[in-house]
Structure 1
Amino acid sequence: MKRIVFAVGALALAGCEQTLPPTAEGLKLIAARTAKGTKNTKLETKTQPSPPLAGNTSIWDIKVYDVVDKSEGIRKEWKFFNDLPQSSTDKTATGVLMNAWLISKDRSVFLPQKPAYKQYGSFLTDWSIPQSGPYTLWVEYQPVVARDELSFQDMKDKSKALEIEHAHWDVNVGGTAKAERPLTPSAHGGAYGVYSLSSDDYSKSESMDVAINPEKALVNQKTKFATTISGATGTVADEAITALSPDGNTLLHGVSAMPQLTFAQKGIWRTWFTFSIDGKPYACPLDIQVN
């Protein structure tokens, strides 16, 4: 029954196209839920409940808008492929992809997710957040342009393809944590601890070996990683690396069993090596010194 209630709430969050000018108070709310860091689009996020509460499942609607508003501050839904509402049942929507990460400011909680595209430019996902406090929501996605929005020359000119957008929001999670479940990074060298990311099982389990080339990461140079998972029984998939800069303002993401990243800042980067075993998600946190 609980999931049915959330499903109905999710439909309400997805909403429909905005038609009325926002009030002065509405403009403040819009500004508060608009992401930082985007170039070609605007992103807003809404949660149910608002604010999200620790120890409970919260539904998140991440909505894409055109960077240019309509008149009177009305935002214009981003047109991915065809006419609105662009339902997820449309076969053209299969190419609309988004990655999202909810990371606590102290970096002890790391919750990756792949929001699902629904309609009216909205992506929906849910999180069960283990502890309250300040978080950052990070999102990356490529704002595909609808074919009928492009000229013939645009379609021939690959330079017209839009870059992947990187966005982030500051989020405060309320409530009282039922139990803190931090992902503690291992000391450099040897095997590193791996944690289950399932909401019903946050225990430490397998271990992972990580080879770094060069062994001492250098700023503005490519760093390559090779990983070996110990004790895994089942099908390993979805291997990736996510890295947060020392100042907390930059998130890097690479998808591969042997990913490579270019660190643009000196200092200690918190990295998470993620993968799944038979569909169950895991993460291995590791601090990397970049010189």
Structure 2
Amino acid sequence: MVVKITESLFGVTKNENEVKKYTLTSPNGLEISLINYGATIQSIRQPDRNNQVAEITLGYDTLQGYVEDKSSFGCTVGRVTNRIKDGKFELDGKLYELEKTDGTKKHHLHGEDGYPGQVDVTVTYHLNDDNYLRIDYHATSTQATPINMTNHAYFNLAGHNSGTILNHHIEVNSNRYLATDDELIPTGTIASVDNTSFDLRTLTLLGERIGKVCDGYDIMYVVDGSGRRYFGKVLHRESGRAISTESTQNGLQLYTSNMLKQVTGHDGVVYDKYGALCLETQNYSDSVNNQVKR
């Protein structure tokens, strides 16, 4: 048996460009829908242990939802993901100033405008019959530029309409994390997770731990090693659904949707704080300014 791929029209932009949806279905019943607007994961529908299929990512049912999106649901984030301090960086002796797009309006977050050169990016999604999804990124630029890309899928393995992810267990294969200031900008220090609430080296129930972290997790974990390696996993025991993550990147940004507030998504469901979690494999936050030693 092989993975089935179907194509349909998802919408039309104001410039009259057609946006296509491609649905990949594995023999085991996993369905992943992608749209060629932001190279976005629009939907993931996964069976539970009783073969009941549910939507496990947050997202929208219409193109307009993605046009107006402020949460980066499922999209490919770049040219540089995560934060750049003060929205500035220097490259080859020239200072570049970027739009300040984070919640404080002091720093750059997940943006594209203001960088040198033009970049052509290809994102390829591969799904096999063992429910293994691989995402490959390839970029070329007309001049030197920083590039740090990731996918920003929001997962709730109980179902996108089930409330919070506090009943999920999580494991992160990391001994260290990037210390940050109050505005989530790295200080340049790599700290140990020992004897802290950031220690997720064994399966940990989020509901028992998240209250010990200031407003939830939004943290960059350092994952030792090189090449493709194990980063972590998430488990929802009631349904039996689980996901594990591997990457070739340096770190994992764990985000528990702390800033999500009253966003209407799939099927008219309203998503709120702790409604999902993101496992964003990437290079370190603010690495253009802060060359942290591993």
Q: TM-score range by the shorter chain?
A: under 0.3
Structure with greater contact order relative to length (CA < 8 Å, sep ≥ 6): 2
TM-score, normalization by structure 1: 0.28
